[in-house]
Amino acid sequence: MSTHTPELTLESAACGSSSVPAGANSAVSNWTFALRAGCLSAVLLVELLCLTVRFDSKTLASSADGFLSIMQFAPRLPQVLIAMLAALCLTGRVRLQHHYRTFANSDLQDHAWQWWGLAQLAIFAGFWLATSLLYESQALPTSAQLPVTALWLTLGAGTVLTWLRSIAPWQCWGQFLLAEKRALVIGAVVGCASLGLGSMAQGLWEPMAAGTLWNVTLLLRCLYPEVIVDASQRIVGTPAFRVEIAPQCSGYEGIGLVVAFLAAFCLLFRSRLRYPHAWLLWPIGILAAWVGNSVRIAALIAIGSSISPAVAMGGFHSQAGWIFFNGVALTLAAVAMRVPFFSNQAVPFARSAVATRSPVAAYLGPFLVLMAANVLTAAFTTAFDWSYPAKVVVTALAIGALAPRFVAVRPSLRTTPISVLVHYRDAITCGVLVFIVWMLTAPVPAGSSEMPNALTGSLTAVSVTWVLFRIVGSVITVPIVEELAFRGYLMRRMASERFEQLAYRSVPVWSIMFSSLLFGLMHQRWIAGAMAGVAYAYAARRRNSLYDAIIAHAVTNGLIAATVLLGDAWWLW
pLDDT, greater one: 305 or 142? 305
Whether the pLDDT of residue 19 is over 50: the answer is no
DSSP strand E in 120-209: where? none
Q: Which residues in 125-146 are b (16+ Cβ under 10 Å) and which e?
A: ebbbebbeebbeeeebeeeebe
545, 495 in Cβ contact below 8 A?
no
Average pLDDT over residues 287-297: 88
User: In whole angstroms, what separates CA 183 from the centre of its chain?
Assistant: 24
- Nearest Cα neighbor of 166 from 124, 204, 128, 203 is 124
Report the pLDDT value the prediction gives residue 303, as an integer from 0 to 100: 85
Cα(458)–Cα(460) distance, rounded to whole angstroms? 6
Average pLDDT over residues 289-314: 84
Cα(204)–Cα(69) distance, rounded to whole angstroms? 26
Q: Is 526 exposed, middle or buried (0-12, 13-18, 19+ CB in 10 A)?
A: middle
Whether the pLDDT of residue 40 is over 80: the answer is yes
Whether the pLDDT of residue 350 is over 80: the answer is no
Q: What is the pLDDT of residues 378-430, one digit of tens each?
A: 766 666 778 889 899 999 998 888 765 555 444 444 466 777 777 788 899 99
CA angle 442, 447, 453 (to 5 degrees): 110
Average pLDDT over residues 241-262: 79
* pTM for the full predicted model: 0.57
| Amino acid present at 156 | G
- Nearest Cα neighbor of 281 from 250, 259, 312 is 259
Report the pLDDT value the prediction gives residue 433, as an integer from 0 to 100: 94
Q: From residue 411, how far is each of 5, 9, 367, 403, 420 by CA, in Å?
A: 7, 12, 25, 17, 11
Q: What is the mean pLDDT of the chain?
A: 77
Q: What is the pLDDT of residues 208-230, one digit of tens each?
A: 778 888 888 988 988 888 888 88
Q: What is the pLDDT of residues 146-191, one digit of tens each?
A: 787 888 889 989 999 999 988 888 888 888 888 877 777 776 676 6
| Amino acid present at 561 | A
Element of type H or E holding 259? helix 252-268
Q: What is the pLDDT of residues 101-157, one digit of tens each?
A: 778 776 555 567 888 989 999 999 998 888 887 776 655 666 667 787 888 889 989
- Nearest Cα neighbor of 367 from 407, 398, 323 is 398
Which band of pLDDT confidence, cut at 50, 70 and 90, is reported for residue 317? low
Long-range contacts formed by 328-332: CB under 8 A, 24+ apart: 328/254, 328/258, 328/285, 328/288, 328/289, 328/292, 329/257, 329/258, 329/261, 331/288, 332/258, 332/261, 332/262, 332/265, 332/281, 332/284, 332/285, 332/288
Whether the pLDDT of residue 446 is over 60: the answer is yes
Which band of pLDDT confidence, cut at 50, 70 and 90, is reported for residue 353? very low
Cα(222)–Cα(108) distance, rounded to whole angstroms? 70
Whether the pLDDT of residue 10 is over 50: the answer is no
495, 516 in Cβ contact below 8 A?
no
Cα(359)–Cα(11) distance, rounded to whole angstroms? 10
Report the pLDDT value the prediction gives residue 476, as an integer from 0 to 100: 93
Q: 3-class SS at 501?
A: helix
